[in-house]
Chain A
Amino acid sequence: MDLTTLFRAPPMDPLLKIVSGVPIFRECNRMELEALKLHLHERHFLAGEIVFDEGEEGEGMYVVIRGKLRANRKGRLGKKVLGVIQPGESFGEMALLGSGPRMATVVAEEDSTVLAMFRPELVALAQARPRLGFKIAMGVALVLELRLRRVAEGHSPEPSST
């Protein structure tokens, strides 16, 4: 028996591996991600199914695990496609800041699996573990800063600015 295996940490849950790559959670360590895991809800969407609807109150954010989704926004000239969301990317982060209306409609382009994170659960987690709360808040701020820069530079915001 290889005794060194006793001192090696067990391999990370594949779902957590994907979450750890999302910009908002990139600074979280393994223990923090494990705590986060308690609040992840896996949902499956069929191709063509709406994940959330522009204008509805947002209650949480999502991370794509499998499949492909599309973000649309109603414009004066009809629907405007904001972009495609791929595995490892997140969307709906604005809902972490408050239950304001969703800025876009997200539809599954193909059968997809996402992890949903509910705002009140994340807030409770952040209150119990302020260090983790700070990291998540900084992550959200970073994502928003990048988007503001893109808009200021004349680009359209990323599809995940929903």
Chain B
Amino acid sequence: MNAERTPERSLEHPIIWIAVIAGSLGSILLLKAVAWLAFPLILAVVLYYLVQPLLQRLQLAGVTPAQALGIFLGAAIILTLIFSLTLLPSMLSSLANFQDQIPTYWDRLQGVIRDNLLALEGRFAFAKNARLADSLQEQLNLFLAGAGKEYVADVALFLLHWLPSLLLVPFLTFFFLRDGTAFHRLVLRAVPNAFFEKTLLLFDRMDQQMRAYFRGMFGLTMLDTVSLGLGLWFLGHGAGIFGFWDAMALGLICAVFAWVPYIGSGLGGLLAVATVAVKAPQSSGLILAVVILFLGVRLLDEFLYTPITVGRALRMHPLITVMMIFSGGMLGGVYGLLLAMPLLGVFTVLGQMFAEIWFDPRLRARYHARGMLEKQLASKDLGI
């Protein structure tokens, strides 16, 4: 083995790590600036990574890439049709029933909040002085009468703004799936011979990082689902509020909400509290227990589950994982929270591979030698 070859040492170069973190955070800012395009692009990449292993399996079983894509599209269309014809009508009718019951649920929820605030007023003087229950009622009435309508308009405008970009998702996914391999080969063809093997390795590692991240997210969702589901079942089954599968289903919904860090888990918590409040309006202790459960799972999620699933999948130190999530959130809001970890994973691989190539004088010498050979050939051909 050559003594000059020391790529492992070059990986520890601080400039590389600074560049990796700067690159990840810079990309968050860039993606935030082009959010309208970045959002469907990210969703399409996620879908690509979910579907691509399936297509690869079909191809390795002897089916051509075009046939594999055709089989997948055919199956997707058939499943959509079956869903539209069988499950969709019953789901829509359930949704219509739920819509009819919204005012009742809303009244019950308001009643629960008011009762609890009145209880607080009875116990604490500062709450009584602040007239918490009446103030909240007034604010809610004002919101529903005025600002609420504006919010509805804002939400409608927001949806109108985002819907066309969401329509891009299947379109982009289709082209990623159809032309991904060709694009991959096109990029590789442009890579100089000296760096070819290292670049192949880079692609392979990046692919593994992305897969590991999505696997990590899946694991995180499962851990959240089980923790929340078991907690909700334990708290609610005695009072007849939740059966085991109801609790698990609610846990799963909340875990999916938690894909949007912080905001998502807050929304999930509200949903669970509202469900308990509506089903058992008199059990204020139970509502408090659900709030505590959510806070507990939130803490577990942040400091245990995320570092051991997504963090471990990306082979990151838990401290870096937490710091990157916070930095991403500060710079890019929800986008930053969502993208910090996958981007850090991709930039880490890029940084490592760049270091391996850049700090290897023999690879660079080979690259320059090829350039000189090309020059000599051109000179000979031109007779100069």
Contacts and interface: CB of A to CB of B under 8 A. Distances in A.
Interface of A: 31, 34-35, 38, 41, 43-56, 58-60, 101, 116, 118, 120-121, 124-125, 128-129
Contacts of A121: 204
Contacts, number: 71
B197 A60 contact: yes
Given A38-B59, A46-B373, A55 B1 contact: yes
A58 B200 CA distance: 12
8 contacts: A38-B59, A41-B185, A45-B193, A46-B373, A49-B193, A53-B2, A56-B5, A118-B200
Interface string B142-183: 000000000000000000000000000000000000000100
Contact of B204 (A51, A55, A120, A125): A120
Contacts of A49: 193, 366, 369-370, 373
A118 B60 contact: no
A38 B181 CA distance: 9
Contacts of A125: 60
B218 interface: no
Given A46-B370, A48-B373, A55-B2, A116 B196 contact: yes
B204 A53 contact: no
Interface residues of B, number: 29
Interface of B: 1-2, 5, 56-57, 59-62, 65, 181, 185, 188, 193-194, 196-198, 200-201, 204, 362-363, 366, 369-370, 373-374, 377
A53 B197 contact: no
A43 B200 contact: no
B357 to A, nearest CB: 11
B60 A59 contact: no
B61 A128 contact: yes
B60 A35 contact: yes
Contact of B59 (A35, A44, A46): A35
Given A56-B363, A118-B204, 10 more contacts: A35-B59, A41-B185, A49-B370, A50-B194, A53-B362, A56-B2, A116-B200, A118-B197, A128-B57, A129-B61
